[in-house]
Amino acid sequence: MKLVVLDGASLNPGDLDWSPLATLGQWHCHEHTTPEQVVERAQGAEVLFTNKVVLDRATLAALPSLKYIGVLATGVNVVDLAAAAERGILVTNAPAYGPESVAQMAIAHLLHHSSAVAEHHQAVAEGQWCRATQFCFWNRPLMALAGKRFGVMGFGAIGQAAARMARGFNMEVLVHTRTPIAELPQGYRWVDQATLFSEADVVSLHCPQTEANTGFVDAALLATMKPSALLINTARGGLVNEADLADALNRGVIAGAGLDVLSTEPPSPDNPLLSAKHCVITPHNAWATREARQNLLDIVVANLHAYLAGDPVNRVN
């Protein structure tokens, strides 16, 4: 059995062990694969792993030996699931491998905005504290989280983890999901989308991207937020109209944004958010703690073993 990994470097840059997969057959692991290299590298493979390399209908048609695709992520938009099903190719993903890690990044962006740790460290390094006339200083307003409202858009494993962390700061949690939730723990409240955006001091996006909600965070919705509010996105960049968000930040419609995802990754140098005011961007690495990546790899291995045993799990097509 030939097994091929098309883009293994993101999951495993060298600190994890591929051997649970590599010992199952003829193993080929590529750090990166361009679209032009996919068919050549995957030719003859029965098992193919991809993280972000696209496997469209034409590509799948050129791989007659392929029986199984393991997506090294939760999102499966890189695979044409219908075309795979038509060809009898089973596709699996790795759900919920690191919700706490992604939620941790959302809270890191919240703390960066509220406490300005990095900014004040830089000010100290530049000598501003040495020149201060009193024992302390701050170069922008600091915000206490206790009593503030943390809005969670989407309440899956990651949204729930972020909400628990926010409650640890004694924040009230506002929750919006497509289906209302009648019973929530103390300190939580289900609200409609309009209420969440207008009442929350922090809006944190944790929903999947669909055709219906692509770009839904636009100028009109941002205008309903508090001028002091923060927008956090650790979900999918395409949920946000980036030009509208950049304009809102530059005009002070909202106070700031903390983003771990953009609509195109890596971003184009002319993406307006790269130069927007009070916009902090991390390079889509919320998921990438070693612990989360190891858990992801463990799920990928278990998925393949279940498939080989004739009892597939985490099937998405």
pTM of the model: 0.92
Task: Show Cβ contacts of residue 17 under 8 Å, excluding neighbours closer than 6 positions.
Answer: none
What are 170-185's pLDDT values in tens digits? 999 999 999 999 899 9
Give me the mean pLDDT over the 231-242 stretch: 97
Give me the mean pLDDT over the 207-218 stretch: 94
pLDDT of 212 higher than 90: yes
CB 241 within 8 A of CB 215: yes
Q: Does 236 participate in catalysis according to the annotation? A: yes
Q: Which of 265, 290, 291, 315 is catalytic?
A: 265
Task: Please give the CATH superfamily to which domain 99-116+142-281 belongs.
Answer: NAD(P)-binding Rossmann-like Domain (3.40.50.720)
pLDDT of 221 higher than 90: yes
**CATH no. of 2-97+290-308:** 3.40.50.720
Give me the mean pLDDT over the 39-58 stretch: 98
| CATH 3.40.50.720 residue window(s) in the chain | 2-97+290-308, 99-116+142-281
Q: Which of 149, 206, 236, 293 is catalytic?
A: 236
Q: Does 140 participate in catalysis according to the annotation? A: no
What are 78-117's pLDDT values in tens digits? 999 999 999 999 999 999 999 999 999 999 999 999 999 9
Following DSSP, what letter does each residue of the chain receive, concatenated? -EEEES--TTT-SSSS--HHHHTTSEEEE-S---GGGHHHHHTT-SEEEESS--B-HHHHHT-TT--EEEESSS--TTB-HHHHHHTT-EEE--TTS-HHHHHHHHHHHHHHHHH-HHHHHHHHHTTTTTT-SSS---SS-----TT-EEEEE--SHHHHHHHHHHHHTT-EEEEE-SS--S---TTEEE--HHHHHHH-SEEEE-----TTTTT-B-HHHHTTS-TT-EEEE-S-GGGB-HHHHHHHHHHTSSSEEEES--SSSSPPTT-GGGG-TTEEE--S-TT--HHHHHHHHHHHHHHHHHHHTT---SB--
CB-facing half-sphere around the CA of 232: CA atoms within 13 A: 30
Q: Does 120 participate in catalysis according to the annotation? A: no
**pLDDT of amino acid 75:** 87
Q: Which of 113, 149, 176, 284 is catalytic?
A: 284
Cα–Cα distance list, 224 to 207, 236, 272, 290, 296 (Å) = 20, 21, 21, 38, 38
